[in-house]
Amino acid sequence: MDKIVKIWSFMDSFYFHCSRLQYVNQKEQNIFRVRLLTYRGNDLSLSNGTCIHHNDVLLKIHLHNCLLMSEMMNIKNDTRRALYVYNRVEASMPGLANFIFQHPKENIIKGVIGITLLSRGVNRLGFEVKDIQNPYYERLKQLYMKPMFVLCHHEKGKLRKRKKLVLKFLVMSKEQLLSRYLQNM
């Protein structure tokens, strides 16, 4: 497993530089890496009344999967792994709110968006789960997300059977993020 993490680390650093990601707070090992994007999908209506339209500016969030993999190498139980990831994300949310609050383009950022195979329980963090409407985009994202998921859930040379994994958008308005997490700084 150690070799896999090293290979993944090499690929991750290449991906990091090619995708124009930046760390939210590397010194504090915030689990998020982000980049601004112009939203190109269908309109997304959020529960607080925010509507995200084509061409709105969002902060795309990426989990630092390589860091997570290295931190979870000794956790064998899937439930404990899921709880660990949840706690790392929850602990990183105030840093994400602060990142947006201090961002030079804060006034035009409408919210945050991410893509995940694991969307259970994210509503407790304030995210809303939305379907990905474009099947081509979904398949493209599955090309790199499913192998990573398999790597993280590979157990003693056997791959356990799983239900079909479906990618989802995780979305939160900037107002929701700031009101919920900025005071926690």
DSSP code string of 18-60: HTT-EES-TTTT-SEEEEEEE--SS-EE-TTS-EE-TT-EEEE
For residue 182, pLDDT beyond 70: yes
Q: Mean pLDDT, to the nearest integer, of 100-123?
A: 92
Tokens of 34: 């982000």
Angle at which helix 78-102 crosses helix 174-181, to 10 degrees, equals 100
Per-domain boundaries in the chain? 2-184
Tokens of 24: 């939210």
CA-to-CA distance for 132 and 59, rounded, in angstroms? 17
Identity of residue 115: I
CA-to-CA distance for 51 and 48, rounded, in angstroms? 9
CA-to-CA distance for 125 and 85, rounded, in angstroms? 12
Structure pTM?
0.82
Residue with tokens 């497993």: 1
pLDDT digits (tens, 9 = 90+) for 72-109: 888 888 889 889 999 999 999 999 999 999 999 999 99
Burial (Cβ within 10 Å: 0-12, 13-18, ≥19) of residue 90: middle
pLDDT at position 151: 55
Selected residue with higher pLDDT from 13 and 99: 99
pLDDT at position 26: 86
pLDDT at position 158: 46
How confident is the prediction for the chain on average, in pLDDT? Answer: 83
pLDDT digits (tens, 9 = 90+) for 138-157: 666 666 666 556 555 555 44
**DSSP string computed for 55-113:** T-EEEEEEE-HHHHHHHTTT---HHHHHHHHHHHHHHHHHHHHHHHHH-TTTTTEEEEE
